[in-house]
């Protein structure tokens, strides 16, 4: 090695100490590699040292760092650059490459030379080497220089392994805090308690004066908990200020630290003002995300000191681990209606988009409803009250003056044609029949006696009295036959409960029963005047009885009465309908229910709005 290089004058112990210190180097890679290149250059007596690495994807060599002595010859550096790639390829295969850069140099003189040595790294997949430019090298000394540089080739491996060891310890420490915090949060079964546990744990382990958590609800951050504070007023000035700080982090969707480091691109004016008002040296806000969406923000305050990079990493890791647990507890601790609404919102968000979900769902639902209202045309039916009536109703009256002897039926009973429904007392009639029979025998004998005596006048008087007695006897016998009152046809007793009048007198012509036929029933519907035009020229419908509303019976319209009838303050038209099929056994005249008459297909929007439209037309008409 030439003595013209001033770095070569350093004593070996100083270089050895520097090499030993590099093996225990504790700085970042941007600080390690320039120092390592300088040491290699000093050990090899080089004017320039370059660190190059082979890209595993395209196989090209890329320069990562360099070290150069001042006033190094530009011509020599050009020779070194021209030979660098070929030296790198040779070194990548053989582990070392030595090359004389000036081939016309005289023997025994110093010449510019290049030396490349492959470095030993922690990863065997990477190929990295250091290349040295020796401006004044003796060819015979190149092997010795290469050997000295190779002794330094394992320093990067030591540095990387030491860094990995330190990183492992850091990760363990970081993970321990995360696990302890997570254990405290998971131990809670209520949302408010878990929020307080999280804030207290972070405040204790990271030496914070105050830790707060806010949740994103209804477009704003709402404070949920403050460390070492079980209750607080949401309208307090301090609470409002904390929520404002959290929203600054939420709006930018990133963590914000104040005081900010160099080249900090985020806005932190609210953090700075909050720190000044509360005498905090450091304020930090960390957003908590679920599915890459910010749902909460944690804000930490310190009176002294700043947050290190490791502490910020711990905060991110804690947030990622606890946010799902907090979200589940928050949802579980709400009432069932709120939970169902949130579940529906999340399901709709899956295919409607993450923003303004309810607005989009509402718009889509309104559009679908309007489309259905105009396109769906169900059968529209006019509704009316009805009464079941019989085509033939007959009153049963007393045939003569008499007394009730026996009553066989009561209202609601069904009777057959010829069935006895009532008996009148016949005792007086039987006596009259006997007396009339005796008188008739007497008058007949008197007539015969007068004829035998040839008394013509007395005979004619006796015959006249005999005819009168025969007529009276016929009347008595007719009344005896009518003493048993019979049903004129199959019917049901509608009126006439005479069980309490047995033995009481009745007068001739007095109405005793009202019978209605059950085999000839029809429906009399009362259609409102406003709907009567809809049932014109229509012929079908259905009825349902009040007593059995689950059953439906088809009817056919027969006739619409031409004149309206006033009923209960409104005009109605009577529509006669015939029941299709045979009447049921339980049907009785006078039963009522709802009748719905088919008038054709109408759109849903017309069905829902035609009443209102008609009202507005009448109200606004002038």
Express each pLDDT in 505-521 by its tens digit.
888 888 887 887 877 88
Q: CB neighbours (10 Å) of residue 225?
A: 24
Q: pLDDT tens-digit profile of 37-65?
A: 888 888 888 889 999 988 888 888 888 88
Q: pLDDT tens-digit profile of 392-417?
A: 777 788 888 888 888 888 887 788 88
Please determine, for residue 23, whether its predicted confidence score (pLDDT) is greater than 90.
no
11-20, 250-259, 527-536: range with lowest mean pLDDT: 11-20
Contacts of 13 (CB under 8 A, 6+ apart): none
Q: pLDDT category, 2, cuts 50, 70, 90?
A: very low
Please determine, for residue 578, whether its predicted confidence score (pLDDT) is greater than 60.
yes
Q: Is the dihedral of CA 227, 233, 234, 237 positive or negative?
A: negative
Domains in the chain, ordered, with CATH? 6-153 (3.30.450.40), 171-332 (3.30.450.40), 393-515 (2.40.50.100), 520-620 (2.40.30.170)
Q: pLDDT tens-digit profile of 363-401?
A: 888 989 889 988 999 999 999 999 988 877 777 888 888
Tell me, what's the pLDDT at 170?
65
Contacts of 47 (CB under 8 A, 6+ apart): 5, 41, 68, 69, 72, 73, 76, 133, 134, 135
SS3 assignment, position 64: strand
Query: What does the alpha-carbon distance between residue 439 and residue 431 come to, in Å, rounded to a whole number?
Result: 12
Contacts of 545 (CB under 8 A, 6+ apart): 551, 591, 592, 593
Q: Match 């209606």 to its residue by tokens.
A: 337
Q: Is the dihedral of CA 481, 484, 490, 494 positive or negative?
A: positive
Q: pLDDT tens-digit profile of 239-275?
A: 999 999 999 999 999 999 988 877 778 888 999 999 9
Query: 323 — phi, psi (to 5°)?
Result: -65, -40
Query: What does the alpha-carbon distance between residue 405 and residue 420 come to, in Å, rounded to a whole number?
Result: 13
**For 247-260, what is the HEC assignment?**
HHHHHHCCCEEECC
Tell me, what's the pLDDT at 299?
94
- Look at phi and psi of residue 233 and say left if phi exceeds 0, alpha if psi is from -120 to 50, else beta: beta
Please determine, for residue 328, whether its predicted confidence score (pLDDT) is greater than 60.
yes
To 5 degrees, how large is the angle CA 525–CA 530–CA 532? 45
Tell me, what's the pLDDT at 9?
39
Q: pLDDT tens-digit profile of 264-311?
A: 788 889 999 999 998 888 999 999 999 888 999 999 999 888 888 878
Q: pLDDT tens-digit profile of 467-506?
A: 888 888 888 888 777 778 888 877 788 777 877 888 788 8
Please determine, for residue 175, whether its predicted confidence score (pLDDT) is greater than 60.
yes
Q: pLDDT tens-digit profile of 421-472?
A: 888 887 777 888 888 888 888 888 888 888 888 888 888 888 888 888 888 8
Query: What does the alpha-carbon distance between residue 428 and residue 421 come to, in Å, rounded to a whole number?
Result: 21
Please determine, for residue 592, whether its predicted confidence score (pLDDT) is greater than 90.
yes
Where does residue 278 rank: exposed (0-12), middle (13-18), buried (19+ CB within 10 A)?
Answer: middle
Q: Which of 383, 472, 485 is nearest to 426 (CA)?
A: 485
Counting residues of the chain whose pLDDT is more than 70, the rounded percentage is 94
Query: What does the alpha-carbon distance between residue 476 and residue 461 come to, in Å, rounded to a whole number?
Result: 23
- Contact between 435 and 477 under an 8 Å Cβ cutoff? The reply is no
Tell me, what's the pLDDT at 574?
92
List the beta bridge partners of residue 258.
283
Query: Is-cis flag, bond preceding 114, omega within 30?
Result: no
Check residue 456 and report its DSSP letter.
Answer: H
Tell me, what's the pLDDT at 348?
65
Where does residue 72 rank: exposed (0-12), middle (13-18), buried (19+ CB within 10 A)?
Answer: middle
Transcribe 232-291 into DSSP letters.
--TT-HHHHHHHHHHHHHHHHTS-EEES--TT--S--HHHHHHHHHTT-SEEEEEEEEET
Tell me, what's the pLDDT at 8?
42
Counting residues of the chain whose pLDDT is more than 90, the rounded percentage is 19
Please determine, for residue 174, whether its predicted confidence score (pLDDT) is greater than 70.
no
Whole-prediction pTM: 0.41
Q: Is the dihedral of CA 423, 425, 431, 432 positive or negative?
A: negative
Quote the mean pLDDT of the chain: 84
To 5 degrees, how large is the angle CA 149–CA 153–CA 155? 120
């Amino acid at each position: 090695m030439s003595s013209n290089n001033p770095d070569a004058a350093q004593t070996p112990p100083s270089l050895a100490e520097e090499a030993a210190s590099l093996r225990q180097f504790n700085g970042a890679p941007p600080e390690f590699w320039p120092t390592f290149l300088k040491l290699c250059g000093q050990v090899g007596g080089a004017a320039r040292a370059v660190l190059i690495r082979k890209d595993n994807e395209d196989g090209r060599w890329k320069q990562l760092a360099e070290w150069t002595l001042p006033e190094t010859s530009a011509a020599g550096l050009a020779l070194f650059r021209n030979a660098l790639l070929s030296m790198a390829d040779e070194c990548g295969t053989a582990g070392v490459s030595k090359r004389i850069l000036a081939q016309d140099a005289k023997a025994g003189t110093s010449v510019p030379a290049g030396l490349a040595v492959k470095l030993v790294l922690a990863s065997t997949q990477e190929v990295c080497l250091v290349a040295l430019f020796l401006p004044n090298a003796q060819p015979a000394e190149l092997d010795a220089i290469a050997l000295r540089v190779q002794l330094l080739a394992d320093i990067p491996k030591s540095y990387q392994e030491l860094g990995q060891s330190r990183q492992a310890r850091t990760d363990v420490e970081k993970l321990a805090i995360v696990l302890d915090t997570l254990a405290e949060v998971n131990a809670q079964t209520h949302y408010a308690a878990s929020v307080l546990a999280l804030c207290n744990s972070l405040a204790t382990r990271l030496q914070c004066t105050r830790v707060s958590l806010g949740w994103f609800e209804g477009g704003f951050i709402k404070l949920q908990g403050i460390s070492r504070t079980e209750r607080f007023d949401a309208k307090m000035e301090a609470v409002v200020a904390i929520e404002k700080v959290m929203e600054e982090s939420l709006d930018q969707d990133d963590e914000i630290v104040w005081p900010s480091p160099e080249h900090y691109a985020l806005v932190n004016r609210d953090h700075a003002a909050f720190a000044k008002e509360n005498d905090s040296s450091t304020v930090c806000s960390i957003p908590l995300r679920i599915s890459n969406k910010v749902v909460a923000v944690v804000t930490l305050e310190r009176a002294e000191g700043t947050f290190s990079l490791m502490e910020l990493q711990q905060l991110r890791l804690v947030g990622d681990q606890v946010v799902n647990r907090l979200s589940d507890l928050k949802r579980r601790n709400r009432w069932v209606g709120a939970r169902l609404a949130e579940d529906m919102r999340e399901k709709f968000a899956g295919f409607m988009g993450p923003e303004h979900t309810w607005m989009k769902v509402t718009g889509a639902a309104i559009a679908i409803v309007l489309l259905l209202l105009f396109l769906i045309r169900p059968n529209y039916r006019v509704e009316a009250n009805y009464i079941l009536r019989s085509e033939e109703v007959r009153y049963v009256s007393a045939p003569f003056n008499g007394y009730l002897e026996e009553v066989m039926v009561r209202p609601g009973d069904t009777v057959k044609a010829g069935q006895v429904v009532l008996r009148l007392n016949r005792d007086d009639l039987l006596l009259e029949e006997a007396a009339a029979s005796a008188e008739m025998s007497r008058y007949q004998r008197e007539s015969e006696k007068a004829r035998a005596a040839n008394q013509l006048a007395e005979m004619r008087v006796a015959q006249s009295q005999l005819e009168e007695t025969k007529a009276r006897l016929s009347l008595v016998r007719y009344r005896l036959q009518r003493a048993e009152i019979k049903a004129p046809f199959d019917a049901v007793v509608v009126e006439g409960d005479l069980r309490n009048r047995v033995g009481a007198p009745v007068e001739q012509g007095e109405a005793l029963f009202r019978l209605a036929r059950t085999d000839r029933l029809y429906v009399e519907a009362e259609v409102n005047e406003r709907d009567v035009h809809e049932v014109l020229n229509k012929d079908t419908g259905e009825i349902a009885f009040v007593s059995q509303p689950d059953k439906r019976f088809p009817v056919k319209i027969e006739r619409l009465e031409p004149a309206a009838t006033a009923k209960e303050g409104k005009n109605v038209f009577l529509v006669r309908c015939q029941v299709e099929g045979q009447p049921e056994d339980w049907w009785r005249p006078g039963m009522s229910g709802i009748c719905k008459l088919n008038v054709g297909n109408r759109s849903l929007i017309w069905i829902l709005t035609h009443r209102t439209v008609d009202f507005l037309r009448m109200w606004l008409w002038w």
